[in-house]
Chains A and B, each alone.
Chain A
């Protein structure tokens, strides 16, 4: 199964993944139009300190604590992707309490948000992967 892997060795801390992520969740064609003058709330986030940086987004765990703990059934895992039914989510944040990666975050509309591998927004490669200039975020099949 294809997964997103992050290699901090190649992360430049450029934060482009965050912007491509934020862009992917809009329906705009043009990034400038989509993100001009807004404070982005990306589903992938860079952690950085002392020259080290890396992107963190949902790992789509094999034993997903967020899904197991979700009190509404809004979080589900199908075909290796954990998605959120925003209509069901009531924003109790149990998933934020549960996720060991800190990869689920509040959003502006009350529901939580997380990486859904762009399956709802685009086909193929997640936008953060496409937008990473240095191959620090890859989406690939690895033997497990």
Chain B
């Protein structure tokens, strides 16, 4: 037998006093970690196959299972962590780029966790959302610089097209292909019920989902998969994806094995061919080029849809955003380095990009300084984990946020970070029919609706506590924020005071 350098990360612990050998763990594990031994009527498990997705744990009717992190260690030290050692073993064995999924798991600062919210006391009394109206609705799009009137003095409608959201949250771009049909249906139905939007990602729009068009952002990315005039006109807005937080600077690759049936049809590429999204848009090398695409899309949709330009949060994000704000785009979406994805090279995921909090604060400031903040709305994503993150993002200047990972977790994702294997046991990041059916959209959409309604209640309570009764009034209201444990520079970039100041 070959030398096995890598010890399993997790151990499947089974309480044999509780195991009734119903074999649900075995049937539900696409990684085939569990096995039934008929001769002894006992279950056994192969830890090496376990990705710690908890499907078995969640379904075990007697709670006989748990997954624990292995306490096996390499002889690691502060410099050579077990992870580093393991990655070297892997690459020495495979010769390949390391792949992983979902967001950056490394120990970089999470600024949202170092920012605290204000509340009213005595003066400017707080507002009780159960008794008083509270506005969570927002409109995204370019705001006119001034009021215009006609020769009779009547107000001219010079409003550009807008997106209307019942709350400042949207489901971020996840393509049909990277996630399953049922996941898409769940997102689409939830968005429709909630009065918000979801995003097709770069996979085109399945014909079944055109009916949710009013609640759909259709994406145009570097591969232009699935893009045609009807597609562009079917959504409420169009998003040009220049970059994404999980893998700034690189393109995408959906292997040909996943380009089957409806996915091939929806993407408009032959079955079995790799769907390669190039790193850059090959027709965009400047803001002027971007402007051309923005206006091409507006032209194609008769100037009825706002255009979003989505970029990854990188070092010069403020300058880039300034350019985008002048390109004719109506909305800038910024994706922080913690943003998730179905599959990304580990090194890119873990080492490229900057935190969304800093990017947002600097973009908002730059646009205000330049007097062009009203040209665009700002949407941020890249690990918005709770309603508190939403409130903090809005106070830092965002008009709305994108959630991706949080939505998937609501659908059952356990962040096992194995999307790239295509064997998602929760029916989300997979196209295997038997796995896809595990996500029943009737249940999934309801869970998303629940999550968003819960957040909406919390948002109202938090802002009500500040004495604020609308998202508009919170937007960019940095006085409601204080930093803890941040240095001068960080506070300066965030534009907030330290707690106690």
Dominant secondary structure at the B interface: loop
Looking at B18, B19, B20, B41, which has the most chain A CB atoms within 10 Å of its CB? B20
Determine if B20 and A32 form an interchain contact, defined as CB atoms under 8 angstroms apart: yes
Q: Contact flags (1/0) for A8-23 with B, using CB distance below 8 Å?
A: 0110111110011001
Q: Establish whether residues B24 and A134, one from each chain, have CB atoms under 8 Å apart when the complex forms.
A: no
Closest chain B CB from A66 CB (angstroms)? 28
A selection of 24 A-B contacts at a CB cut-off of 8 Å is: A10-B437, A12-B434, A12-B438, A13-B27, A15-B22, A15-B27, A16-B24, A16-B59, A19-B20, A19-B24, A30-B62, A31-B61, A32-B62, A32-B64, A36-B17, A37-B41, A51-B433, A51-B434, A131-B61, A133-B58, A133-B59, A134-B440, A134-B443, A135-B440
CA distance A30 to B63 in the complex (A): 11
CB contact under 8 A between A15 and B23, given known A10-B440, A51-B433: yes
Contact of A14 among B28, B62, B64, B440 (CB under 8 A): B28
Which residues of chain B are within 8 angstroms of A16 by Cβ–Cβ distance?
A: 22, 24, 59, 61
Residue among B19, B27, B443 with max Cβ neighbours from chain A (10 Å):
B27
CA distance A57 to B467 in the complex (A): 57
What's the Cα separation between A35 and B438 when bound, in Å? 26
Give complex CA distance A19, B41 in Å.
Answer: 16
A134 and B28 form a contact (CB under 8 A): no
Q: Which residues of A contact B64 (CB under 8 A)?
A: 32
- A20 and B61 contact, Cβ closer than 8 Å, known pairs A12-B28, A14-B27: yes
Report the count of interface residues on B (CB-CB < 8 A): 22
Chain B residues with CB under 8 Å of A133's CB are 58-59
Contact of A135 among B18, B59, B61, B443 (CB under 8 A): B443
Having A14-B59, A15-B27, A19-B22, one finds 5 other A-B pairs with CB under 8 Å, namely A10-B437, A23-B61, A131-B61, A135-B440, A135-B443
B residues lining the A interface (CB < 8 Å): 17-20, 22-24, 27-28, 41, 58-59, 61-62, 64, 433-434, 437-438, 440, 442-443
Q: Bound complex: CA of A53 vs CA of B478, how far in Å?
A: 56
Give chain B residues whose Cβ lies under 8 Å from the Cβ of A32. Answer: 17-20, 62, 64
How far apart sit A36 and B41, CA to CA, in the bound complex (Å)?
Answer: 11
Q: Bound state CA distance, A15 and B26, in angstroms?
A: 11
In the bound complex, how far is the Cα of B17 from the Cα of A31, in angstroms? 11
Interface string of A112-144 (1 = CB under 8 A from B): 000000000000000000010111100000000
- Flag if A12 contacts B61 (CB, 8 Å): no
